[in-house]
Amino acid sequence: MPSGEPFTNDQYRDIEKVIAVANSETGLSYSVFVGDVEGDIRDAAETKHAAFGAAAPETVLVVVSPGDRLLEIVTGEAAARRLTDRACALAALSMTTSFAGGDLPGGIVTGVRMLAEAAGHPIGSY
């Protein structure tokens, strides 16, 4: 497989759109990393999560390593209150099901959407 862009422009747009919608619906900050990670994926994911600095508590980071076939979802302190580990596991299961079928962008879109629905709307938004 030659190197280059892993997704088509439409797929990029779909992923960026679903992240933007998730951010505005939940008030949390969603982020998706796709690519190889070095070392343990949990450590790498937590390091990437820490890179958000002041925004880290509200950040939900999804790390997808297609080469290792590993997926990691990291929630910050504020995000974890609204997004249980059980809901994350359900989204992770749905994503890996799509990934196993070779549908990387579809799994990411579905997963972010599920995470957004599980988090719900921010209190006081209605």
Partner 1 sequence: MSTRLLAGIRNRFDKFTVVRKRTAGRRALARVVTIAVGATLPVLAAAGPALALKRDDGTAAHYPSLGAGLTILIFVVIPVGVFAIISALALLPSALSKPRYRPGNAWEHGSRWFGKPVEGETVTADSSAAPSTSARGGASAEW
Which residues lie near partner 1 (CB under 8 A)? 1-8, 15-16, 19, 23, 29-36, 41-43, 45-57, 59, 65-77, 79-80, 83-85, 88-89, 91-93, 95-97, 99-102, 104
Nearer to partner 1 (CB atom), residue 27 or residue 49: 49
- Minimum Å gap between C-beta 91 and partner 1 is 7
| CA angle (120 as vertex; 114, 121 as ends), nearest 5 | 140
- Minimum Å gap between C-beta 120 and partner 1 is 16
The token pair at 90 is 């359900």
- Minimum Å gap between C-beta 34 and partner 1 is 5
Cβ(57)–Cβ(77) below 8 Å: yes
